[in-house]
Structure 1
């Protein structure tokens, strides 16, 4: 039986989305949805693609959500979600940083979505970015500001300051919310 549930992890850069997802994977049938990325920069956590692949997805109506950031295109596509949900019967965990993405994904791929906002103090985000040797600290902090400014708390089932809680505790809370959503 295919999964009918999913998790949207909304948050700014360095909020802990990767770490929380790793913890979720250890406690349940969760898997990280790796967005298709076309462009330069970080490759970890993405399925790298070409402009031709992106054009084909667009032409076939497979793009659920697409955004442009850091000189790259980032895509949530139907085929990868179908693979996770229908073929592997896993609960997809999507990392997003735009409110528009929440609406587009809910509308474009109807699952029972648990929507979680994760954040940490800006100083903590900066420290995390420096520790991971990020080449775009200032740009990512600007995105951090934008992401939190556009957040509408009414959209979220859970809001967590990752600077105040251990990742395992955050994952447990998300799992509980996800399992009790109707």
Structure 2
């Protein structure tokens, strides 16, 4: 069965950097560009309208949909299928545990990777990359922590502390776990998030 990778974590936990490393190390990895309707960053997204997202939702084409930073985001079946059909391993960036679970409706061997970093890491990385909404990202860090605690029995294939591992180390750990066909297990979330 083909594989997919879910990178879940708070803002600044390294989803972009690790994705970049994965795509450099192995050509079959590809970032899944979520649909986005609203303001803010457009790099890494397929820009669309709320009406289009609504239409996809009505026709059952969405695996997951959420709102954050005054924008609407969606993961569509067609977008994931297009990558799989071209023999790529889709990498999905997630900020909600329910989203990580919802995409499992698409029949792939999903590797669920929990990326974690402390609040000060999120804040310093956000400032360092010039985000204009640092406080919104700090708020999202807290929301991610609460989300993990509310779903602490949720299984993860791999848990990586990205304040302690470089992006290349993290990418190689993901590649190794994928090669080993590692299975998802519950983690000690309370210890992880403090």
TM-score (norm 2): 0.87
Match of 1:167 in 2: 167
Give, in whole Å, the separation in 2 of the partners of 1:179 and 1:53: 37
Q: Which moved further from structure 2: 22-31 or 150-159?
A: 150-159
Q: Which moved further from structure 2: 77-86 or 141-150?
A: 141-150
Deviation at 1:166, TM superposition (A): 1.1
Match of 2:128 in 1: 131
Match of 2:191 in 1: none
Relative distance call for 1:18 and 1:51 in structure 2 (3 A) is: same
Match of 2:185 in 1: none
Pick one of 101, 104, 113 that aligns with 2:102.
104
Match of 1:143 in 2: 140
Match of 2:49 in 1: 50
Deviation at 1:153, TM superposition (A): 6.1
Taking the TM superposition and a 5 Å limit, the aligned residue runs for 1:1-182 are: 4-28=2-26, 29-86=28-85, 88-106=86-104, 108-151=105-148, 152=152, 154-181=154-181
Point out where structure 2 has 5 or more consecutive residues left out of the alignment: 183-194
Give, in whole Å, the separation in 2 of the partners of 1:72 and 1:13: 15
| 1:123 counterpart SS class | helix
TM-score (norm 1): 0.93
Tell me how large the CA RMSD over aligned residues is: 1.4
Point out where structure 1 has 5 or more consecutive residues left out of the alignment: none
Q: Which runs of 4+ in 1 moved over 3 A?
A: none
Give CA-to-partner distance per residue, 1:128-173, whole Å, 9 cap, x none.
1111111111111111111122222642111111111111110000
Deviation at 1:51, TM superposition (A): 2.4
Aligned residue pair count:
178
Give, in whole Å, the separation in 2 of the partners of 1:100 and 1:55: 19
